[in-house]
């Protein structure tokens, strides 16, 4: 869909994306719901799937790319409620996810005060389908969160999260195993 048609359709509630977005840097699927609190910034590419709900109650939703080759993809039927995604490489959010006021980043900034050369760690972050991320959660570079998992409030996720679990704490650890749905276990 041409950007001008999209902008005209979105007028009135998607006020944070300027009508003059250059090129194909941002792609927005049909059915986007928002209240003017969606911020997309940076030189990279952002792709938003169909039926995205970006209606934020407190903090704005921020999708930020820090490099021209950076990529953020948010799947279909995803709910964003004050989340921040910062990508230097790539962040992929699967379908049917719910993201509270969390921060997800695929790189760590240069905190070095030693004056020595510093190479920030960059590693792709993936949230598989149907993941729920609570408020004030931090998901760090290289993390993959398995489908149907829940990240509890205030958790700090450093490593991989298996499918069908609840994790919480700092560092996040499995506190409960969820019963998997029949489609997750084809042998049953």
In terms of Cα–Cα distance, which of 61, 33, 63 is closest to 46?
63
Contacts of 53 (CB under 8 A, 6+ apart): 33, 34, 78, 79, 80
How far apart, in whole angstroms, are the C-alpha atoms of residue 82 and residue 178? Answer: 26
Active-site residue identified among 62, 107, 122, 147: 107
> Do 140 and 160 contact (CB within 8 A), yes or no?
no
Q: Which two tokens stand for residue 160?
A: 């991989």
Phi, psi of 65 (to 5 degrees): -105, 140
User: Catalytic residue at 154?
Assistant: no
In terms of Cα–Cα distance, which of 135, 29, 26 is closest to 84?
135
- Map residue 45 onto helix, strand or coil: strand
Find where tokens 């409620």 sit.
81
Find where tokens 């205030």 sit.
154
Quick one: the chain helix, strand, coil %, rounded to 5?
Answer: 5, 35, 60
Enzyme catalytic residues: 107
């Amino acid at each position: 869909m041409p950007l001008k048609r999209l902008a005209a359709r979105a007028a009135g509630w998607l006020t944070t994306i300027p009508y003059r977005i250059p090129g194909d840097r941002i792609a927005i699927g049909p059915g986007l719901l928002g209240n003017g609190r969606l911020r997309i910034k940076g030189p990279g590419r952002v792709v938003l799937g169909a039926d995205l709900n970006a209606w934020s109650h407190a903090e704005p939703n921020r999708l930020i790319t820090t490099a021209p080759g950076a990529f953020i993809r948010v799947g279909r039927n995803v709910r964003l409620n004050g989340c921040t995604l910062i990508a230097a490489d790539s962040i992929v959010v699967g379908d049917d996810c719910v993201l509270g006021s969390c921060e997800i980043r695929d790189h760590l900034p240069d905190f070095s005060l030693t004056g020595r050369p510093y190479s920030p760690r960059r590693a792709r972050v993936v949230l598989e389908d149907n993941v729920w991320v609570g408020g004030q959660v931090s998901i760090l570079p290289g993390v993959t969160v398995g489908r149907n998992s829940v990240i509890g409030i205030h958790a700090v996720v450093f490593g991989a999260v298996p499918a069908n679990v609840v994790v919480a704490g700092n560092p996040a650890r499995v506190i409960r195993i969820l019963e998997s749905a029949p489609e997750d276990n084809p042998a049953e």
